[in-house]
Structure 1
Amino acid sequence: MLIFNFGHESTLGLYLAYSAIQETQNLNFVGADAKWAKASHLVPWDPTYPALAAEAVLTLLKDVDSDKDTQELSSLATNYFQDAVKAAPNDPWFNQNLAVLLLDTDAKAAENYAKKAVRLSPRNYNSYTYYTLGLAFLNQEKVDQAINAFVLEGLANPVFLIADVWERSPLLEIKDNVIRKALSSYRKVLSQTNKTSIQYGWLHDQLTLLSWWYDYPISEKDKEATSPLIHAMIIADNNRHESLALLDQYVQSQGRSNDLHLVQARLSPEQYLPELLEKIDGTAEEKAQFEKSIRQEESTRSWLNQVKASSEAQIRYGGAFAYRNLAANNIQKILYPGEIQTSVLSTSIQLFTNAPREYPQLDNYMANIRTEQLQMD
């Protein structure tokens, strides 16, 4: 049975916490800091109050213009999260948030917190933890370790390997090495996987898709062994007729979303575009512009990558169960290291997907990289 602690100290701590939030909203940081500190002192075993303090400060950061205020608030949020980690050292997201906040000011500390987050985080929970660790390595000029961390992120979260971060510094300079090593890692894990398993089918699809995305050679046998959707995408530039047949086959089995209808319209505008245009709300001029974009001659990969959107930050839930404090349900933030944009259409039609929850060969391979290449226990 879950028992909540509503003792005198916790009740007073809760009162101080909400009072501090009001002070923060009124930009009275000194008063808020004093109340957060007192709440934390009253219940030092409970990370709720410093974590709530950190989140309140991070919310304010969005509206701050000056570098000085940004630096001060970032430092304050860092201090609060450090207090939260003291109370709950095995909370993966407190460690992740600290790693992100410290990347530019203390890369070694960021590395340590990111490593802790990696150890504690489930593989299939997409919070860019390995990416954070890789940036911490890169900020210390530990390039080989950074490459391995980015490969691990690509194994856990394949869509990361097509994100916009690879088109600019500092990742652009090591992009080829990371992609090459990631594809090699995919092949090694695939060779250890039962060919009749769901895991094999998933990894073969992702390997083939990424090879196509980065212009690596793909055999006809490998193309034909992919799912109809991915097969359709990778042959669309050279054989639209067969690509459309495969896509129609996929739609018949899975149902047609608006996004899949859009892909069909691009492959065969005469057949599918009129119906699609009827679904779209807009002026005649807007519809004409939309039709022009559909008929535009460009590679399938470029077309898929036309529209990008930021990855939505994960939100944590159930803090009350972890910390026996109802106020902990208000702890929600999981920070990412900067904005990460990926292809909207590739995501919406589920080209890139995360691995099945149970995949021992993948987990063992990733554990070996952590141990042998990153010197993690």
Structure 2
Amino acid sequence: MIESWRWYGEFDSITLGEVAQTGARDIVTALHDIPYGEVWPRDAIAARKEQIQNAGFEWNVVESLPVHEQIKRGEGNLEQLFANYRQSMANLAAEGIKTICYNFMPLLDWTRTDLAAPVANGATCLRFDAVKMAAFEIHMLGRRAAEDDYPEDVRQRAAAWFQQATETERDTLLTAIMAGLPGAFERYDVAGLRSVLGRYAGMDRAALRANYSRFLQEVVPTAEELGMRLCVHQDDPPRDILGLPRIVSNADDLDWVLKAYDSLANGVTLCAGSLGANPANDVPAIAANIADRIHFVHLRNVRKDPNGSFEEAAHLDGDTDMVALVRVILQEEARRRETGRCDHDIPFRPDHGHHMLSDLTRDLIPGYPLIGRLRGLSELRGVIRALSD
């Protein structure tokens, strides 16, 4: 397994010099300053690659080459957007970067209600609180249909939270939810979010699947020609949210994705945390079922509450059997070597992590601390070493 580290380039206060001290070999990154839908110029890709290599790393995985919201909505003439996506793929391949992580989540890349929920010994973590989310959807956003998405006890507690919450607490909740918007370009107040959600009015699972299928038909043949691997990230959290459908949340969804364009170029970023937030998902079993199409792995863990809430756990704690999951990935690597596949070593990264120690006083991207991820990488490295002996 190839040890990787997600780095946000000029938006990241963690330096490549600091990352080098973790022992990771590869940097996972993107051109985060380019607006969605525009072509990634080859010279910009080459400059970022040179920066990474000069720091002693390789750049083999892009996370992510974003899918424009118009494509997800199936809105208007999309030919130019698809052409731009294909050209960006070609420019990446020309620089030797051939694995692309992406997602097909409408509007939000991820959703949390707390960016600094307390955990043991003074550290903090990302948390999704079902009560706060219900309060936001029903009482702040005014999405009355959301009442059907939450059980009665959660709705009652949400109403109580909203009634006693201060304006600062409500603003903090909005900020946490807006943190999941992709890129660095748009953040909304409640009225703005309500307006942009209106663009998805009437969108259901079938419609979103149709738009996703078209995306795959448009870009996977190019990936095949370029020798690239596209790998979809699972929904985070793996459930419908804000009235938006989610279609990459469980084993059945992944089976549909892989059959929608049956090609090795159409694969999966296996995210243990995203899948693990759904109590019905057996993450090691899902990984074993689709192992030959896993091109990239996010290893993190979550601890779930009965009401649908969850929070980031330490990498070897939480509800997912991380040892069993790593064993599946190592077994798949061995199988690939035996069959002569050139992509037998699978890149992974320690995903998220607790903010702890000096990270608590740094201006860091939520969920992406230095020390918390280093702890996770160290623990995972030990598991990999033990299973490999």
| Shorter-chain TM-score tier | under 0.3
* TM-score (ref. length: structure 1): 0.26
* TM-score (ref. length: structure 2): 0.25
**Higher strand content, 1 or 2:** 2
**Higher helix content, 1 or 2:** 1
Larger Rg: 1
